Structure 1
């Protein structure tokens, strides 16, 4: 099946508007790329992992850091702010695994590094990525597929 968001044009328009809002949040593009990639890795969404790596490289990210996103806790290549965003992405993505969802500790760490607009952009990126992940895995979109 074609991706449902492509079948229903108003869905695509809505997604584009969310992307526009994320871009206006002031959140660092690298951080947004990292949370997108990490959520996609967790959800096993090969098209989003593929697209996330490609987009991150295009925007100046390094191979070395991208290879370590899945093990970011054990890497010294990420800033404290990026670590807070990655932890938030994991907690918000693994809802079924985490009965308290986003703990106060996780939230406070993110809020220490990002203002409300930036945090809103990061949260919207995480949520939108989870939407893409669910659409792509449901219709079994292959790695390399693009919208």
Structure 2
């Protein structure tokens, strides 16, 4: 159970309902972390703007954005965000189900390109504590991505640095849709891959 009870839908002010509607649009369900954040409407509004900038169509493939978020969240140990982003990669961004299921095998799977491996290597290193990103990670990125694409990769990683801390600290309750997706997509061993990758 969440350490801060989410604001009931019936008590949301109109301005906050707009933020909730945006979250539902990009996620496909009502997220409990947004309802908890609704206790501080200014923070929720600022988060909506940040998410809109990072997730809007840009130079980086939208499925890769979600997979970067999945790896970052898994490395940080945030199962709430890992389930959300894997669900989003499939259901909202139209990603290939086999590839999403194999995300923790990205370093060896033929489903992933060298460019994707470089981005996901950085995501894994950056999600680990202490941060394990190196100059070599960026040299690898520069072989495949433009400066704008690298900025978008960093935007996703950094956004989930905040969301991983928020949701893990509050013990935010995982909603049915992402829970069902994660349960159907990942074995328990794969679900724990992020934790094992950090050790």
TM-score range, shorter chain: 0.7 to 0.9
> 1:132 Cα deviation (Å)?
0.8
Q: 1:45, 1:136 within 8 Å by CA — same for their partners in 2? A: yes
Structure 2 gaps of 5+ residues are 7-32, 178-199
Q: Which residue is equivalent to 2:162?
A: 131
Is 2:144 the counterpart of 1:110?
A: no
Q: Which residue is equivalent to 1:144?
A: 175
TM-score (norm 1): 0.86
TM-score (norm 2): 0.65
Higher relative contact order (CA 8 A, sep 6+): 1
> 1:24 Cα deviation (Å)?
5.5
> 1:92 Cα deviation (Å)?
1.4
- Deviations for 1:107-145, whole angstroms, at most 9, x for unmatched residues? 011122221211111101111112111110101112227
Is 2:43 the counterpart of 1:11?
A: yes
Is 2:57 the counterpart of 1:29?
A: no
Q: Aligned pair count?
A: 143
Which stretches of structure 1, 4 residues or more, deviate above 4 A after TM superposition? none
Is 2:99 the counterpart of 1:65?
A: yes
Structure 1 gaps of 5+ residues are none
**Could you say what the CA RMSD is over the residues aligned between the two structures, in angstroms?**
2.0
Q: 1:143 to 1:46 in 2, by over 3 A?
A: farther
